[in-house]
Chains A and B, each alone.
Chain A
Amino acid sequence: MSGFVLIRGGRVIDPANGMDATGDVLLEDGIIRAVGRPDVPGGTTVLEADGLVVAPGLVDMHVHLREPGFEYKETIAGGTLAAAAGGVTTVACMPNTRPVNDDPSITGYILQKALQEGIVNVAPIGAVTKGLEGRELTEMGLLMRAGCVAFSDDGRPVADSGLMRRALDYSRAFGALIIQHAEEPSLSAGGCMHEGVISSRLGLPGLPAAAESVMVDRDIRLVELTGGRYHVAHISVAGAVEAVARARARGLPVSCEVAPHHFSLTDEAVVGYDTDAKMSPPLRSVEDRNALLEGLARGVITVIATDHAPHDSDSKRVEFCHASNGVVGLETMLPVSLELVRDGVMTWMDCLRAMTVAPARLLGLDRGRGTLSPGSVADLVLFDPEAAWVVDAARLHGTSKNTCFHGRRVRGRVKKTLVAGRIVFDDDL
């Protein structure tokens, strides 16, 4: 839609500007012009938003688009369609593709594909080490110049302490964010679910919570040493939340994200050997889940990100320990996160902040994304906060359907998603 568009009469929530009020949003040529009660020029297209929440499009800083290399699991086209259906207008995609995104040419390929086939913004995350092999640093400067917004070896930790030190140190030259899949490999080896009562009963080898917290503890020491910007991906255990809280209290550049499955489910979901409840890190104990909720409430955890990880059914229809790790999450992120608001864990403002401006700022996208400030790109989500629905794996928009929320009754439904003023998803169509 070019020209003027007015989104009229919605509840406008813009955490970047601390706004929560009924009003209109005026767009012009894909840019936000005004919010509130703006003068409306003649010939303006009107989108009625009565009864809907109007918010900045969600920013999901942890997504696996699987392209290039694993197109049978997901593609940039399919993954961004799932994003649009979930109200997500920007996805940061992890580099564990084939080939790995460890070279500017791969970054360029992803961005080119995204331009041609993607329907939401794609922000590539480059690898910390070449080939994710944990040996040699990538060309962070050139990768950022090519379009990478952060660095991670996600799926694998940067295990070697000396290498992590150098990564955190070198990244400072570019102000780059290092995202760590925090897991001490010698403690997690062989594990395929959280180590606890349930793993004992099911006879499945467990990964102890300490595998994560040990690594976060170590990394925070390295942040002290280097001053590099450090972000814990998909935080899942109480000990790691504690460590991040302490680091932040001391003013260190440390942040973390939590995935909806980790704050809404526990290892109990694995009973019956459901491979759609298998991911890395695994679903944790009730105590860990409570610590995550508290971390969200206290502002220790500032970002909600999905770790959207599509897998084909052949990778999941096998014995539990052989099944691939990961669940899709883009299309359930919003309603599952809104449970936090209904349960009194977070305010509307804080909950939406964790999915918009907070991740946008970490990735350096905030000049134009994750906010409704005039002059920003018109990336928006319009959702009905009350609409109840039941998650049905078969009706998801992405290529793979491996959700752990199948059958869950949720509230909050995306009605329209706009990217640069263009409607990329419309629930009524």
Chain B
Amino acid sequence: MGSHLWNRKHLLGMADLSREEIQSILDAAASLREVNRREIKKVPTLRGKTVINLFFENSTRTRTSFELAGKRMSADVINMSVASSSVKKGETLIDTLATLQAMNPDVVVIRHPESGAQEFLARHLDAAIVNAGDGRHEHPTQALLDLLTIHDHLPLLDRSGFEGLVVAVCGDSLHSRVARSIALGLRAMGGEVRFVGPPGLIPPKAEEAFGARVYHDMEEGLDGAHVVMALRLQLERMTVGFIPSVREYFAFWGLTRARLARAAPGAFVMHPGPINRGVEISSEVADDRERSVILEQVANGLAVRMAVLYRLCGVGGGR
């Protein structure tokens, strides 16, 4: 499954990864996809390995994806949910460490509402850590599955690689770990990222921080883009104060068929899910099978997570 360019202990963020490392994960994922199409969807690769899913934040999609990825590779998978409400400022994090350490896991997959929590745990825990999302910082497996999905579609765009590919990331990139990770991943692969959205919902100094070009006008931002990624507007978390209303937001930054027409021929639409219909994306776009690859993203997520576990468990090298 490709040469071993991978010798990292953890997967904490796309910021750390070179083009070769990203490619090695994508290659492994592309091969592992075949397992998911078999009648018996299981390989013995990670037999005897223990994977703990440690989620400090609710997530059905990502947790299920990691769980299934581990199980299809025959690892023992344990899910631990730590309700955020009972986390009294950090106590749980340091206390959970001891418990985890005692189980001697090989990989701990962690989602945490605070940026940097995984880096903190990586300094104190022996196991390999996969960042399944930390605050608004990074969500590397999402970026990898997005890259794999884009990669699959390159022939339709009449392109052979990521070089020069234009991806418009639309919406609230300020609060989005998905936006940060895909921007860093694409930059590593030679693509061009745009952050499109209202002023105030774009990370400060995004050009310098991520090499992203910033557009506040949706039409301009979509102009000639090969891939359009719509971000979830996190209604429950933040938007109070950032935008006056959902109505106004959709009127100016909602992804509609008319706006999508500004993108390059063959351009397609991605969304990390779950979607808010009529907020950041119209139903006609979300449900358009010609343009939307949202369900492919889910399938690729499974393969990418299998590949990541495979790499981090150091099968045939690594740690």
Cβ contact within 8 Å between B89 and A318:
yes
Q: Quick check: is A272 within 8 A (CB to CB) of the other chain? A: yes
Give the residues in chain A near B120, CB-CB below 8 Å.
Answer: 273, 318-320
Cβ contact within 8 Å between B94 and A317:
yes
Question: Among B129-137, B149-157, B221-229, B259-267, which stretch is in contact with chain A?
Answer: B129-137
Cβ contact within 8 Å between B203 and A200:
yes
Cβ contact within 8 Å between A203 and B136:
yes
Cβ contact within 8 Å between A201 and B119:
no
Give the residues in chain B near A318, CB-CB below 8 Å.
Answer: 89-91, 93-94, 120
- Residues of B37-68 at the interface with A, using a CB-CB cut-off of 8 Å, are none
- A273 in contact with B119 given A201-B15, A203-B138, A322-B114 (CB within 8 Å): yes
Give the residues in chain B near A196, CB-CB below 8 Å.
Answer: 204-205
Give the residues in chain A near B112, CB-CB below 8 Å.
Answer: 319
Q: Quick check: is A195 within 8 A (CB to CB) of the other chain? A: yes
Q: Quick check: is A40 within 8 A (CB to CB) of the other chain? A: no
How many A-B contacts if CB must be within 8 Å?
Answer: 70
Cβ contact within 8 Å between B114 and A320:
yes
B180 — nearest CB in chain A belongs to which residue? Answer: A203
* Other-chain contact of A273, B115, B180, B203, B210 (Cβ < 8 Å): B115
Cβ contact within 8 Å between B210 and A203:
no
Give bound CA distance, A390 to B206, whole Å. 37
Give bound CA distance, A200 to B180, whole Å. 9
Q: How far is the CB of B274 from chain A (nearest CB, A)?
A: 21
Cβ contact within 8 Å between B116 and A200:
no
Give bound CA distance, A204 to B204, whole Å. 11
* Other-chain contact of A322, B89, B177, B204 (Cβ < 8 Å): B89
- For A, the interface residue count at a CB cutoff of 8 angstroms equals 22
The A interface, classified by DSSP as helix, strand, loop or mixed, is loop
Q: Quick check: is A387 within 8 A (CB to CB) of the other chain? A: no
Cβ contact within 8 Å between B116 and A320:
yes
Q: Quick check: is B83 within 8 A (CB to CB) of the other chain? A: no
Q: How far is the CB of A216 from chain B (nearest CB, A)?
A: 21
Give the residues in chain B near A202, CB-CB below 8 Å.
Answer: 115-116, 137
Give the residues in chain B near A198, CB-CB below 8 Å.
Answer: 209
Cβ contact within 8 Å between A200 and B204:
yes
Q: Quick check: is B270 within 8 A (CB to CB) of the other chain? A: no
- A197 in contact with B205 given A318-B94, A321-B114 (CB within 8 Å): yes
Q: How far is the CB of B170 from chain A (nearest CB, A)?
A: 18
Cβ contact within 8 Å between A203 and B94:
no
Give the residues in chain B near A319, CB-CB below 8 Å.
Answer: 90, 93, 112, 114, 116-117, 120
Cβ contact within 8 Å between B119 and A321:
no
Q: Quick check: is B208 within 8 A (CB to CB) of the other chain? A: yes
Cβ contact within 8 Å between A201 and B89:
no
* Other-chain contact of A200, B90, B94, B119, B206 (Cβ < 8 Å): B206
- Residues of A306-355 at the interface with B, using a CB-CB cut-off of 8 Å, are 317-323
Give the residues in chain B near A204, CB-CB below 8 Å.
Answer: 115-116, 135, 137
Give the residues in chain A near B119, CB-CB below 8 Å.
Answer: 272-273
Cβ contact within 8 Å between A197 and B89:
no
Q: How far is the CB of A237 from chain B (nearest CB, A)?
A: 15
Give bound CA distance, A321 to B90, whole Å. 10
Q: How far is the CB of A254 from chain B (nearest CB, A)?
A: 30
Cβ contact within 8 Å between B94 and A206:
no
Give bound CA distance, A195 to B135, whole Å. 16
Give bound CA distance, A195 to B209, whole Å. 12
Give the residues in chain A near B136, CB-CB below 8 Å.
Answer: 203, 205
0/1 interface trace, chain B 170-214, chain A, CB 8 Å (1 if under)? 000000010010000000000000000000000111101110000
- Residues of A405-427 at the interface with B, using a CB-CB cut-off of 8 Å, are none
B88 — nearest CB in chain A belongs to which residue? Answer: A322
Q: How far is the CB of A271 from chain B (nearest CB, A)?
A: 10
Give bound CA distance, A323 to B115, whole Å. 12
Cβ contact within 8 Å between A203 and B137:
yes
Give bound CA distance, A204 to B134, whole Å. 10
Q: Quick check: is A180 within 8 A (CB to CB) of the other chain? A: no
Q: Quick check: is A129 within 8 A (CB to CB) of the other chain? A: no
Give the residues in chain A near B116, CB-CB below 8 Å.
Answer: 202-204, 273, 319-320
Give the residues in chain A near B208, CB-CB below 8 Å.
Answer: 197
A201 — nearest CB in chain B belongs to which residue? Answer: B209
* Other-chain contact of B210, A195, A201, A317, A322 (Cβ < 8 Å): A201
Cβ contact within 8 Å between B115 and A320:
yes
Q: How far is the CB of B18 from chain A (nearest CB, A)?
A: 17
What are 14 sample pairs from A and B whose C-beta atoms fall under 8 A apart?
A195-B204, A197-B205, A200-B203, A200-B210, A201-B15, A201-B180, A203-B135, A203-B136, A204-B135, A273-B115, A273-B119, A317-B94, A319-B114, A322-B90
3 closest residue pairs by CB, A with B: A318-B90, A203-B137, A273-B116
